[in-house]
Amino acid sequence: MKKLFIGFLLLAALGYGLYTLVFDRANYIYSKLPQVKAGMSRVEVTALLGVPDTTYAWPEAPYPPVLHYEMGLGAPDALRVFLDHDTVTAWSYNQ
């Protein structure tokens, strides 16, 4: 019975760890959205939000014009930061 209880505690700790890994990142990014402003550089956005999950680039562009942040494992929402010559022009948050 004691081993079963310890196993349950370990499973609960693992579940909580996965929950915080997935949802804390989304909460962190969402809390930083008001600080993302037009005119910021790509470096400032990356310092504020972290490394993006995906960047979209076109062959002729020397920089990634869209930084894409997933808001969680399997979450339908995402943040996209649009750049023009390495400067933020707009961002969109899709829920």
The rounded distance, in Å, linking the Cα atoms of 42 and 60 is 18
Q: Model-level pTM?
A: 0.66
Which portions of the chain are predicted below pLDDT 50?
Answer: none
pLDDT digits (tens, 9 = 90+) for 8-26: 778 777 777 766 666 667 7
Nearest to 35 by CA among 73, 77, 79, 85: 79
pLDDT number for residue 44 = 93
Query: Are the C-beta atoms of residues 74 and 64 closer than 8 Å to each other?
Result: no
Which domains does the chain show, CATH number per domain? 2-94 (3.30.1450)
